[in-house]
Amino acid sequence: MSVSSDTFIWIAVFAIIAAIVNGIGILIIFKYKKWAEKAKTYFMCFAAGVLISTPLMLALPQAIQKNFYAGFMALLGFLFMFFSNELIKHLTKKEVLAFGIVAAEGIGIHSFIDGIIYTVTFSISILTGVLSATGLVIHEFAEGVITYTLFLKGGVKEKTAMFYAFLVSGLTTPLGAFVAYPLVNKLNQSNMGLILGFVAGVLIYISASHLLPEASGEEKIHSSFAFLSGVGLAIFIVLSKVL
């Protein structure tokens, strides 16, 4: 399978935008802590709406069309994220990503996988890529806020925490996209179906088991509306392309 230069441009643009949005989240919480803490819930809910819709409507059906066993890979992707999260909890002895090196590794791996998702989904189609990337880019704001906060709780000074947070959660996304590109470029349609199935499982996990519970744990007025707005945007974009 050959990924065109136009597709690579889409991948690069969204990966770089993700890093920028992540950096904006870090900068805003540094300057406007109260607003950023309040807004991150809505960003997570909206992103969850987009991310739960995309694999169910597009990514997974397309993956199964290319390879019957893609559904099994989706399950594997979900389980991979689940047990990775459980391992981090066990190592940190916390219910959430905690402090120090393990926290940095967990967030960095998560962001690196985001970058790989950009490359895989855009390689299938621009529509699948744009929908997946939109949800991921939006949640980068909240991820920047959360990462910066974790470093602060770990005793890191404010400006140093800003640098570490961007390095770990911002720059790893384009890194993942660019590392994955030459590998994805060599895959055939059947193998792409398996990879896309795995990615669909990862997207479902990020939305249903990471973004939504974290957002609902800080229930805010209109948070459900933000989630449904994300679902509605995904449905509108898909229907506008297929009808």
pLDDT digits (tens, 9 = 90+) for 31-57: 887 787 777 778 778 878 877 887 888
Residue 71, both tokens: 């559904």
Q: For residue 99, what pLDDT band results from cuts at 50, 70 and 90?
A: very low
Residue 203, pLDDT score: 81
Answer with the residue of higher pLDDT: 44 or 121: 121
Q: For the chain, first and last CA: distance in Å?
A: 28
Average pLDDT over residues 96-125: 69
pLDDT above 90 (res 75)? yes
> How far is it, in rounded angstroms, from Cα 27 to Cα 163?
10
Nearest to 21 by CA among 98, 99, 135, 102: 135
What does residue 208 show for φ and ψ, rounded to 5 degrees? Answer: -75, -30
pLDDT tens for each residue of 175-233: 989 988 888 878 788 888 898 898 888 888 877 877 677 666 656 667 788 888 888 88
Q: For residue 144, what pLDDT band results from cuts at 50, 70 and 90?
A: confident
